[in-house]
Amino acid sequence: MPKTAPINMRVEPSQHALLTKAAALLHKDRSAFILDVACREAENVLLDQRLFYLSEKAFEAFEAALTAPIPDNAKLKALLTEPSPWEQ
């Protein structure tokens, strides 16, 4: 798909140098680096939204799932009792 929507920014010289250096370390041009990082952060922002709307019926089902007792899970219990790799 052709790129048709421009994005222009004015930055401080120190920011310009920082972005250029980071992009070079990843063997990318500055624009590609900025676009990759900005899109990744935009996705994180959108995924981190904590407000969502449900119908009354959907909310009741959601609330029931949250308040239901957790079923016994022997494998999970065993995993949680093992020391972490950095603790060994």
Q: Give the count of beta carbons closer than 10 Å to the beta carbon of residue 33.
A: 19
Whether the predicted model's global pTM rises above the 0.85 cut: no
Task: Please report the pLDDT score of residue 24 as a whole number.
Answer: 98
**Would you say residue 12 has pLDDT above 90?**
yes
**Would you say residue 43 has pLDDT above 90?**
yes
Task: Please report the pLDDT score of residue 85 as a whole number.
Answer: 86
SS (H, E, C) the chain: CCCCCCCCCCCCHHHHHHHHHHHHHCCCCHHHHHHHHHHHHHHHHHHCCCCCCCCHHHHHHHHHHHHCCCCCCHHHHHHHHCCCHHHC
Ordered by start, the domain boundaries in the chain are 10-67
